[in-house]
Structure 1
Amino acid sequence: MAQSIDFATPPSAPAWQRWLVFSPAARIVIYAALVFVAGYLVHAALPMSGWTGLAASPAQHAFARMTAELVPTVLGYLVLVLLIERRPVRELSLPAVVTRGLPGFIGGVVLFSTVVGLLWLLGSYHVLGVNPNVDWLPAVLIGGIGAGISEEVLTRGVLFRVVEEGLGTWWALVISAAFFGIAHIFNPGATWWSSLAIAIEAGILLALVFHVTGSLWSCIGLHAAWNITQGTIYGIPVSGDRADGWLVSTLTGPDWLSGGAFGAEASVVALATCSLVSLALLIIALCGKTIVPPSWRRNKA
C-alpha cells in the first residue's frame, strides 16, 4: 500500500488561490468559518422546532443537541470537500457505514469492555445493581451518535487529514491528538492528566484508525461504541459527564487506576490498552509504507 493523500492543489491554480483557498491552513480556517456560520443558523432555527422549550421531552432535547452538533460540522465538511477540494467524499461514503462503521463499532465495544474487564480484575470496577428502566436514548443520541460523528469529522476528517497533507503523518498525529486532549480539559472532573490520557489513548488511536482505513466511518463507529458502552452499558462517566447505565456501578482505588471523577478514560488501564492497539496500527502503517512525509519533501521528490 503506497502513501497517499486525498487532495492535491490543482496545478493550474493561481498563486493567490494556492495560499488563500487550497493551502492546509486556509482550508482549516474556511472550515471553521463554515461551522461558525452554520452553527449560528442552526441555533437560531432550533427554537422553532419546539425541541428546546420547557415542554419538550428529554428525547426532543437530545435530538436538538444532536442536531446542533451534527449539522454545522457535517455540512461544513461537505462544503469543504465538494466545493473547495472538488472531490468525492470517499471517507464518508454511505456503503462504508456497514463495511467500515459496523466493524469499528464492534471494535469499540470490545475495546472498552476489555478496559472494564481489566479494571474489574484489578478490583477497581464494581457492579452495584442493574437498572433495566434506564433512559438510554438521550445518551446514545448525544454522547454516541452526535459526539461520534461531529468530533471525528472535525478532528480526524479536517484537522488530521489536512495537517497530514501539509506537515506529514507524524505532525498530524501530534497536533490532532493534542487538540483532542485540550478540547476535553473543560469537562467535569478534568485534569491535565485526563487530557493527556485522552490525547494519547483516543487522539492517537482514532487518527491511526483513519490513516490505516481511510474511512471516517471506522473512527465514528469506534468512537460512538466507546461512549455508548462506557456510559449506557457500564454506567461509567463519559469524559467526566455523569452516566446512567444499564449497570449501576462505581470505580474505586487511586485515581491513576480508577480514573477518578473523570472516569475510566483517565485510568492507566485505558491508556495502556488503547496504546497497544495504536502500536499495532502504527506497525501496519509502517509495514504498508503509508506514512506521508511533509509536503516539501514530497515536492522535492
Structure 2
Amino acid sequence: MDTHQIEALFSSDENTQPPTTPHSEPPSAWHRVFFGPDGLRAGWSILIFIALFAGYLYAANIISHKIHPPTHHGASDNTFSPTVMFINEAIPLLGVLLATWIMAKIERRRVGAYGLGGTRKAPHFIAGLAWGITCLTPLILILWKGGYLVFDSRLLFGSDIVRYGICWIGVFFAVGLLEEYFTRGYLQYTLTRGFTGLFRSVFKTRNSEALGFWTSAVIFSVLFGAAHGSNPGESPIGLFTASLASMMFCLSLWRTGSLWWAIGFHTSWDWAQSFLYGVADSGTIAEHRFLATHPVGKPLLSGGATGPEGSVFILLIIALIVAVILVTLPRTHAGYERLPAEDVEL
C-alpha cells in the first residue's frame, strides 16, 4: 500500500467522524449541597471538625473524671501549678491535632496546609520567641516606672529558677500551640476557603482570597476575645486586647503562611508574664514564679487583677508588635494567599 492509499484511508468519511465520548452526568442536587469546586463545602467541614473535637472532649472528660475526680480549691482557683496547667492544655491540644489530622484525610489535604507546614518553621518560631519577651518588657517598664506595678520579692533561688523556668516554658508552648492551632489552624483555613468561594462567585474579584482571609480573621478574633471572658479577673480592656492580639497573630499568618512565629511569640510572652515577671496573665497567677508583684492604682492604667494585658498601655505595645511584623516578616510568595487546590493531595 503506497502513501496515497494510506492518506485516502485516513481521510475517508468513516474515519473523519469525531470520536464518541461517554456522556458525563451533571452532579445531582444532593451532591452540590455537600460538595463544591474545592471538595467538601466549608460549612460541612467545620461542622464535622467541631463534632469530632466535641466528641473527643466528651470522652476525655469522662475518662479524666473516672481517673481523678475534680476537687474545688476555693480562693486558689486563679492560681495554677505547671503540672495542672500542662494537663489542662495538653488534653484539648491532642483533640485539635487528632481532629485536624482526620479532616486532612477526609479532604485529601496535607496537614501542613493548616499552618504548621512550611520550610522556615524553626526560624519563625525562634524569632517569635525573641520578640515575645522583647515586646513585653517595655510594657512592664512603663507600669513599673509609672508606679502602677510593684515588685515585692524574689520567690525562687538557685536551681529552682532553671527547673521551673524550663517547666513553665514547656507549659506555655502547649498553650501557644493550642490557642494558635485551634483558632487559626484548620478552622480559619476552612472558613477562609468558604468565604473565598463566596466572594469569588458574588464579587468576581481577584482579591477574594484576601477578603475571605480577613473576614474569617475578624470572626475568630472576636470569638477568641470572648472566650477569655471565662478567665477569673478578666476585664473589658483585657477582652478587647485578646481580640486585637488575635488579629495581630492573623497578620503574621497572612505574611508567612505559617503559625510558627505566632506560636513562638505567644509562648515567650506568656512565659515572661507568668514566670519571669510574676504578673497576672488574663487574671491567672502562676505558682513557682520567679518574682512576686502586685498592681497599684486604677485598673485602667495598672491592669488590675487582669495583669498588664488589662492596662490601656497595652495598646502602645500592640502597635509596636504590628510594626515588628510588618518590618521583620516581609510578604513573599510563601505567604498565606494561595489556592486551596494547591494543598490537595493527588
Q: Same fold per TM (> 0.5)? A: yes
Indicate the residue corresponding to 1:33 in structure 2.
51
Once the two structures are TM-superposed, the CA of residue 35 in structure 1 deviates from its matched residue by 1.0
For 1:254-280, what per-residue CA distance to the aligned partner results, in whole angstroms no more than 9, with x for missing partners? 212111111111112222211332255
Distance in 1 (alpha carbons) for counterparts of 2:257 and 2:106: 20
Distance in 1 (alpha carbons) for counterparts of 2:69 and 2:165: 19
Indicate the residue corresponding to 2:198 in structure 1.
none
Aligned pair 1:183/2:227, yes or no?
yes
What's the TM-score once normalised by structure 1's chain length? Answer: 0.78
Q: Is residue 255–residue 329 contact of structure 2 (8 Å, CA) maintained in 1? A: yes
Q: Is residue 116–residue 259 contact of structure 2 (8 Å, CA) maintained in 1? A: yes
Distance in 1 (alpha carbons) for counterparts of 2:307 and 2:167: 19
Distance in 2 (alpha carbons) for counterparts of 1:137 and 1:45: 29
Q: Is residue 124–residue 258 contact of structure 1 (8 Å, CA) maintained in 2? A: yes
Return 110-119 or 13-22, whichever deviates more.
Answer: 13-22
Distance in 2 (alpha carbons) for counterparts of 1:30 and 1:252: 47
Instruction: Tell me the secondary structure at the aligned position of residue 230 of structure 2.
Output: coil
Distance in 2 (alpha carbons) for counterparts of 1:177 and 1:105: 22
Distance in 2 (alpha carbons) for counterparts of 1:89 and 1:287: 19
For 1:5-28, what per-residue CA distance to the aligned partner results, in whole angstroms no more than 9, with x for missing partners? xxxxxxx99523326972222222
Once the two structures are TM-superposed, the CA of residue 128 in structure 1 deviates from its matched residue by 1.5
Aligned pair 1:67/2:87, yes or no?
no
Once the two structures are TM-superposed, the CA of residue 99 in structure 1 deviates from its matched residue by 2.3
Once the two structures are TM-superposed, the CA of residue 40 in structure 1 deviates from its matched residue by 2.6
Residue 16 of structure 1, aligned match among 33, 36, 42: 33
Aligned pair 1:89/2:112, yes or no?
yes
Aligned pair 1:193/2:237, yes or no?
yes
Indicate the residue corresponding to 1:5 in structure 2.
none
Distance in 2 (alpha carbons) for counterparts of 1:65 and 1:137: 18
Indicate the residue corresponding to 2:246 in structure 1.
203
Indicate the residue corresponding to 2:102 in structure 1.
79
Once the two structures are TM-superposed, the CA of residue 292 in structure 1 deviates from its matched residue by 5.8
Indicate the residue corresponding to 1:155 in structure 2.
183
Instruction: Tell me the secondary structure at the aligned position of residue 185 of structure 1.
Output: helix
Q: Percent identity?
A: 24
Distance in 2 (alpha carbons) for counterparts of 1:238 and 1:280: 22
Instruction: Tell me the secondary structure at the aligned position of residue 282 of structure 2.
Output: coil
What's the TM-score once normalised by structure 2's chain length? Answer: 0.69
Could you tell me which runs of 5 or more consecutive residues in structure 1 were left unpaired when the two chains were aligned. 1-11, 296-301
Indicate the residue corresponding to 2:255 in structure 1.
212
Q: Is residue 257–residue 337 contact of structure 2 (8 Å, CA) maintained in 1? A: no
Indicate the residue corresponding to 2:6 in structure 1.
none
Aligned pair 1:165/2:190, yes or no?
no
Q: Is residue 235–residue 243 contact of structure 1 (8 Å, CA) maintained in 2? A: yes
Once the two structures are TM-superposed, the CA of residue 70 in structure 1 deviates from its matched residue by 1.5
Distance in 2 (alpha carbons) for counterparts of 1:284 and 1:99: 12
Q: Is residue 128–residue 261 contact of structure 2 (8 Å, CA) maintained in 1? A: yes
1:222-233 superposed matches below 5 A: 222-233=265-276
Distance in 1 (alpha carbons) for counterparts of 2:237 and 2:318: 16
Distance in 2 (alpha carbons) for counterparts of 1:284 and 1:67: 31
Instruction: Tell me the secondary structure at the aligned position of residue 242 of structure 2.
Output: helix
Aligned pair 1:107/2:151, yes or no?
no
Distance 1:263 1:163, change over 3 A: same
Aligned residues: 277
Aligned pair 1:125/2:155, yes or no?
no
Indicate the residue corresponding to 2:23 in structure 1.
none
Q: Is residue 101–residue 221 contact of structure 1 (8 Å, CA) maintained in 2? A: yes
Q: Is residue 39–residue 71 contact of structure 1 (8 Å, CA) maintained in 2? A: no
Distance in 2 (alpha carbons) for counterparts of 1:259 and 1:237: 9
Indicate the residue corresponding to 1:9 in structure 2.
none
Once the two structures are TM-superposed, the CA of residue 172 in structure 1 deviates from its matched residue by 2.3
Q: Is residue 129–residue 248 contact of structure 1 (8 Å, CA) maintained in 2? A: yes
Distance 1:111 1:51, change over 3 A: farther
Distance 1:118 1:239, change over 3 A: same
Could you tell me which runs of 5 or more consecutive residues in structure 2 were left unpaired when the two chains were aligned. 1-26, 72-80, 196-211, 341-346
Once the two structures are TM-superposed, the CA of residue 192 in structure 1 deviates from its matched residue by 2.8
